[in-house]
């Protein structure tokens, strides 16, 4: 058991801490296109610096590719809807299936890397802020 009563000044004194090691955020791979690299940086900057270890970089790379591809497919679907003439239902259905496939992969990879809302939910009801500094870190 600990000592009873008030703590002495020696007990309260903070011991010196060594230098704090800065954790660098991972750089986007060079084989990513510019749009894919933007997705990379938006995801990496949203999470704590040490969230993505080297073992998750291939997953994050694929996630970025799928996000950009899904956006491109969504643009094709949008332009097809806006272009009233020559609407090809078979082509439209093919694009929707492609979009669904990309969406499934995005959700799967986001869940695996714990970057989706579902993966970050605290089921106790109290909200946990990602990247929020603790009071003693301010």
Interval 32-61 mean pLDDT? 95
Contacts of 124 (CB under 8 A, 6+ apart): none
Kindly state whether residue 65 falls inside one of the protein's structural domains. yes
Q: How many domains does the chain have?
A: 1
Evaluate whether residue 76 is within a structural domain.
Answer: yes
Query: C-alpha distances in angstroms, 123 versus 119, 120, 127, 128?
Result: 10, 9, 9, 10
User: Which domain, by its residues, includes 78?
Assistant: 31-42+56-121
For residue 100, being part of any structural domain is answered with yes
Structure tokens at 107: 């959700």
Would you state the pLDDT for residue 70? 98
Distance CA 26, CA 77 (A): 34
Q: Would residue 18 count as lying in a domain?
A: no
Task: Tell me the pTM.
Answer: 0.73
- Consecutive H or E run containing 23: none
């Amino acid at each position: 058991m600990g000592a009873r009563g008030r703590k002495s000044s020696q007990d309260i004194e903070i011991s010196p801490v060594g230098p704090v090691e800065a954790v660098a955020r991972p750089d986007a791979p060079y084989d990513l296109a510019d749009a894919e690299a933007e997705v990379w940086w938006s995801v990496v900057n949203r999470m704590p610096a040490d969230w993505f270890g080297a073992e998750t970089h291939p997953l994050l790379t694929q996630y970025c590719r799928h996000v950009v591809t899904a956006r491109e497919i969504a643009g094709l679907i949008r332009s097809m809807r806006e272009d009233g003439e020559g609407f090809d239902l078979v082509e439209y259905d093919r694009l929707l299936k492609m979009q669904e496939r990309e969406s499934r992969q995005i959700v799967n990879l986001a869940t695996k890397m714990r970057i989706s809302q579902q993966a970050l939910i605290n089921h106790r009801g109290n909200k946990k802020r990602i990247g929020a500094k603790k009071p003693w870190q301010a």
